[in-house]
Amino acid sequence: MAEHDRKDDGLPLHTALYLEPTYWNDRFAREDHYEWFKDYTHFRHLILANVKPTDQVLEVGCGNSQMGIEMYKDGITQITRTDLSPVAVKRMEEKSVALAYKGIRHQVADMLDLPFEDETFDVVIEKGTVDVLFVDSGDPWNPSQDVVNRVEKMLKETHRVLTPNGIFISIAFGQPHFRRPFFEAKGLTWTMKWDTFGDSFHYFFYKLRKGTKDDNQGPNVPLPLQEKVTFDLEHEFMDDEDFLRQSSLGDNE
Ligand SMILES: C[S@@+](CC[C@H](N)C(=O)[O-])C[C@H]1O[C@@H](n2cnc3c(N)ncnc32)[C@H](O)[C@@H]1O
């Protein structure tokens, strides 16, 4: 990222930069740890309720988050952590070797084109990474074709690498009425369920279990969205860094 693209505090001037690998490489070269949304302690109970120690887990867009390491400490030891940024992957690899977490594998991977065989993982998990695909989405009720294409690709890839009864866990800021048309699109055989966590603002812990719906059911994305929800002012008081706050993701109008 060029200097003129960055504000004094290091955050990007344009949210579209969150889609640029150079932004993330640059950032991870300078930053040791940043936890998007909330740290593991806030949703640990939901992980333990949905992931078994024997599961093969793929984390996409791990960044420099501790989530995979905390899962490992909880006995979920078959984890492959991936990110588009080689800098993040290298740094996380070094960290886990230093901590002797030998079972954790690291790999550079684009979640829109995953370098894994079909039906490889029991669990695919992400935190704040799908949300990145929605930056620059314009009107969240009617996202741009670019957003639709990106999200569709990611979900298709995730669905492909999951075992027949595998689960996709998406820890996200985006609200269910915006996510449903994507998550429940034709061709995807999971149904969307979710829990919430957090204090004044609730984040979403989406659970999509493959093989729970006929793949011909569901809308073609995007749906003409009809349900509207009331605007929640608490959304304005969330995390400090926030492409989400800058983007239209959390807006309900
Ligand atoms: C908002 S950060 C979240 C990082 C981490 N999951 C966390 O909870 O702190 C988004 C991450 O997604 C990664 N990313 C962006 N586009 C990606 C893609 N197409 N495939 C894989 N990772 C991607 C970025 O490099 C960054 O690490």
Distance from the alpha carbon of residue 129 to the mean position of ligand 1, in angstroms? 5
Distance from the alpha carbon of residue 26 to the mean position of ligand 1, in angstroms? 13
Whole-number Å distance between alpha carbons of 3 and 198 = 35
Top mutation candidate among 83, 134, 153, 205 for ligand 1, by most atoms within 8 Å of CB: 83
Q: Which residue has the higher pLDDT, 181 or 59?
A: 59
- DSSP letters along 123-173, please? EEEEESHHHHHTTT--STTS--HHHHHHHHHHHHHHHHHEEEEEEEEEEES
Domain 35-246 part of CATH 3.40.50.150: yes
**Among the ranges given (108-117, 139-148, 188-197, 206-215), the one the predictor scored with the smallest mean pLDDT:** 139-148
Global confidence as pTM = 0.87
Distance from the alpha carbon of residue 173 to the mean position of ligand 1, in angstroms? 14
> Rg of the chain's alpha carbons, rounded to an integer?
17
- Residues 228-238 pLDDT 10s: 433 333 343 34
Q: What is the pLDDT of residue 20?
A: 84
Query: Is ligand 1 within 6 A of the CB of residue 65?
Result: yes
